[in-house]
Structure 1
Amino acid sequence: MPHSRFQRRIEGLLAEADVRVGGDRPWDLQVHDPRFSARALGQGSLGLGESYMDGWWDAASLDGFLFRVLEARLDERVHGVGEVFDALRARLVNLQTQRRSGEVGRRHYDLGNDLYGAMLGKRLVYSCGYWRTAHDLDAAQEAKLDLVCRKLQLKPGMRVLDIGCGWGEALKFAVERYGVSGVGVTISQQQADFARELCAGLPVDIRLQDYRDLDEPFDAAFSLGMFEHVGVKNYTTYFDVARRCLPPQGLFLLHTIGGNRSVHRTDPWIARYIFPNSMLPSAAQIAHAIEGRFVLEDWHNFGADYDLTLQAWRANVEAAWPSLDPRYDERFRRMWRFYLAGSMATFRSRRSQLWQLVLSPRGVPGGYVAPR
């Protein structure tokens, strides 16, 4: 039988990650469909994720299973047949052009504010919290927003730009706590509508606009969790935009997930189901793009905090599923569980990082002292 050969191969690979098929530990794999092994071996991460969505396998601790797979580097040994084409396409084609940029807004950020409201907590902040002294998600997100404001040295009367403003929570926080005014741009219609309502009555201008169209003066600027959608072919353009909007003494804070290696595309399953046309920058790619444009004042890594943030998001959304719209059906829920668990695994294994960079156009006179 062909399946037996594939099954032996899968079982052998998983044994290297201390995972047993049919085992009784939380991270062990329970296979419900004999076609699973061939699909996972033939399609790599896409086959693994899609077969989970289809109910072909389970693990009591999905993040525990995926963490062990990544720790054992099994993902580097199993590649789907389409991945070579995807990699070549990403190198040859700019997948993040202005025409393509709206796709992630429509397919991910416009899924529904009800889903994100249930998952993200008190504030709709869809980026890593700062857990240094925090003990819950809401406190961690407030600590992160305050950290951003302190790093930017915000003062009353300053005009601030938020590139990729999401639901407007960061600008609202900065305006209310630090007395600034601001402009936020997003490519998501639902985010823009929500942010305008959230910031009603405040000196905040929310725009449905591509970052590349920005060309006006600000005293400071930040971008939280948006750079992952820019794409390496557009990094220099992105930093040119930030640079032309700032005065010589202005500061720019970049908050982004990062990878340990330079790539030109994202994971195939993530690209198809979660973040189309996205990719994680490497330190080398960022450094190359800011060369000649900014002075690097500070580079802060708190990637381990993302595991805690994701666990809190998962607890929130799991509690909320029964009350959410039926359009989030069982296959969607399994997709979302795989997304959150896989993300936990990448940060827990330190395969992904969370960076905050503080950049200045000409260097802070006398030096920059970074808050922590």
Structure 2
Amino acid sequence: MDGPTITDHSGGMQRREPLGGAEFAPETTYLNSASSGLLPARSAAALRAALDESASYGTMGRDYFAAASASRAAFARLMGVPAERVAVGSSVAVQSAFVAASLPADAEVLAPEGDFSSLVNPLAARPGLTLRTVPLEALADEVRPGTALVAFSAVQSRDGRIADLAAVREAARAHGARTYLDATQAAGWLPLRAADFDFVVAGAFKWLLCPRGTTFMAFGGELGAGAPWPAAPHAGWVAGEDLDASNYGLIRPAATARRFDEPHAFYSYVGAEQSLALIDELGVDTIHAHNTALAAHYRAGLAERGLTPVSAPGSAIVSTPGLTDAEHRLSEAGVRISVRGGLLRAAFHLYNSTDDVERLLSLLG
């Protein structure tokens, strides 16, 4: 499935072709995976088949749970935890509200300044919690004895900065704080281990190439080691141990992380099963090398033009000030890209190539 890497003798850079073969044939130069990913051909085909099936078998399909179960297992493999430690859901905000509900009423939560709203807003909205924000670079140093939870994104959405995961994890452990990692902008290209953190959430419609409405929560750390599960305030019938007996009245919660499942969007997980299979086939390490090489090529081209992006070493996201007025022109030329916080944000993923980078640079030049 890997695309070839060809040496470009004229420029001294290695030329990279897209990964994924015939899975992708976009009509655009798509550099916007930090907003949402492209849907692989296999996922689109599975969705069409599910829609056709619904005309005879209803909108839960012939087997409502099969695709979600396969997707749960695939995400678990990706994050290095057993499938029993993964819950499925629909949004990061819902999972953040669940994490907030698991904390004592007077707890302090530490988070980076300007982190993504779906992560931090539900924590701030929980009555009694104190949300303290600090610069990302100071996050590990700012953990203190009264901190109950450190909530942060592995990769910042606005500008691609990568958190010092090891330093934050160790600081939290030293002070008895739990960790809540948002991997939405990382899962699918940045190697991660869910076991290193207490809660790991990922909205899967970006770098994991799943339909929107697909979200996973993995439990690691003390929870993965057998600590008591927190309460599940949003538990519905799908969270019951015996699904056949969970439709009416009080349920007996599942003995696994399925007790935290939301009733999932059937079609979203039909597509997710196929998309996650592609990520698994290609391998995160291969995707990481591909994405970061393209990002490095783009940074070098920006430097040649006297432009300086936000410092985010090793990131697949490159955000640059002073270029926001180029978005409309790029869009008219068929380049899909985004502006966030006064920065032109380019995101390089497996379906991108050296040609995409050079086209973007040419249009900016």
TM-score (norm 2): 0.32
| Higher-helix-fraction structure | 1
